[in-house]
Structures are given as C-alpha cells and as structure tokens.
Amino acid sequence: MTHSEKFAAFKALHVPGNPLLLANIWDAGSAKAVALTGAKALATGSWSVAAAHGFRDGEQLPRDLALANLGRILAVVDVPVSIDLESGYGADPEGLPRLWRWRPRQGLSAATWRTACRRPATPGHWTRRWRA
C-alpha cells in the first residue's frame, strides 16, 4: 500500500458511532504479530515503546531511537500505523511541525501528540505554527 492509500484507509476507519480500536504495538515484532491477526491499523504507545528500549515514558527515549523504531515497524507491516509523538520531541513548538513533515517520507499514516511543550505557548500559537 502506498502512503496515500494507507492514509485513506486509516481515514476510512473513522466512522461516527463506530469507535476505532487500535492495538498498541512497541516494536517491529509486536507490529508484525498484531498485523497477522487481521488488524486494519496499528498504533504505538509512548510508554510501551520507551519501556521496550529501557527508558521511562515522557520523551526520555531519544527522538532518533523512536523514529528508527518506527521505521522498523513500518518496514514489516502493510497497514496504516499511528505513532504517539508525546509532545513532539522538540524543545519548542517548532519541533512538532518539523517532525510531522517527516512522516510522508516514512509512510506514517497518523499521529497523536499532547499539546504540551517545554516552553509555554500563547493561545493561537499552534495554529500559526501549523499554517507556516
């Protein structure tokens, strides 16, 4: 499946009144095992990915290791994958848009993130950043 097809498939799974349930995976092995059960999409969880690598949750796992892990996951499954990006792995609100622009090259279908950042943002800050 191409990136566009994965994105469309993931979007089609969002049906009002029919909650989308995603199994959380933490590495390529768990992704492959869950995909083999017939899962239509997968999602990482920040805690499980961090713990599988010996780190605590809360962006303690280095960003490059998180992205390398995601790359290995995407290489072994052909279903949409959503990643938990914590607060974007950036020291400021610029980090999340930069990370989000990375996703099409890797085949990522979706992401979740917390709007927290290490430096408080003013109201409307995120909207301005995403439009840029």
Strand ranges for 4-131 from DSSP E: 23-25, 42-44, 81-84, 110-112
Condensed to tens digits (0 to 9), the pLDDT of residues 43-60 reads 998 899 999 999 998 888
70: enclosing H helix or E strand: helix 63-76
Whether pTM > 0.85 for this model: the answer is: no
State yes or no: pLDDT of 132 exceeds 50.
Answer: no
CATH of the domain at 41: 3.20.20.60
Condensed to tens digits (0 to 9), the pLDDT of residues 11-27 reads 899 999 999 889 999 99
How many separate domains does the chain show? 1
Helix, coil or strand: residue 64: helix
What is the residue range of 117's domain? 3-131
Query: Are 41 and 113 contacting, i.e. CB atoms less than 8 angstroms apart?
Result: no
The DSSP-derived string for 7-66 is: HHHHHHT-BTTB----EEE-SHHHHHHHHHTT-S-EEE-HHHHHHHTT--TTT-S-HHHH
